[in-house]
Amino acid sequence: MAKKGEEFQHVSNAIRQLLQSYRLEGRFDEANVVASWERLVGKGVARQTRRIFIRNRVLFVELQSAGLKHDLNLHKPQILEVLRKEFGQEAVQDLVLM
C-alpha cells in the first residue's frame, strides 16, 4: 500500500516519462507508426507495401504497384493528417512513397 502523500499515476504516463528521461520517446513513436501501418491504411495497401521505415521524422513507404503509389500520393495530406492525429505532430513530418 502507498503511504500518505505518495502520488499514483497511470502506467502509460509512467512509461512516457521513462521514455522521455532516456530520450527514447521519438524512437518509440516511430516504431508505433511502422507497427500501425496496416491498421491505418488497411490490409489491401499493407499487402502492397514492400518496406516501411522512418528516418529523420520522414516516413518512407516502398510499394509494389505504381498505380497504388500514384493513388496514395493524391491522398498524402490525408494520410499525414491521420498519422499526426494518431501519433502527434512530431512523430511524422513528411511521407515519401517509393
Q: Provide the whole-model pTM.
A: 0.78
Per-residue model confidence as pLDDT tens digits over 40-96: 999 999 999 999 999 999 999 999 999 999 999 999 999 999 999 988 888 899 999
Question: Which comes out higher in pLDDT, residue 7 or 66?
Answer: 66
Name the class of domain 11-97. alpha beta
Q: Is 60 helix (H, G, I), strand (E, B) or coil?
A: strand
Strand ranges (E), the chain: 49-55, 58-63, 94-97
Q: 37 falls in which pLDDT band (50, 70, 90)?
A: very high
- Percent of residues in the chain assigned helix, strand, coil, to nearest 5: 55, 15, 30
Domain boundaries, the chain: 11-97
Instruction: For residue 59, count other CB atoms closer than 10 A to its CB.
Output: 22
**pLDDT at residue number 88:** 84
CA separation for the pair 27, 74 (Å, rounded): 28
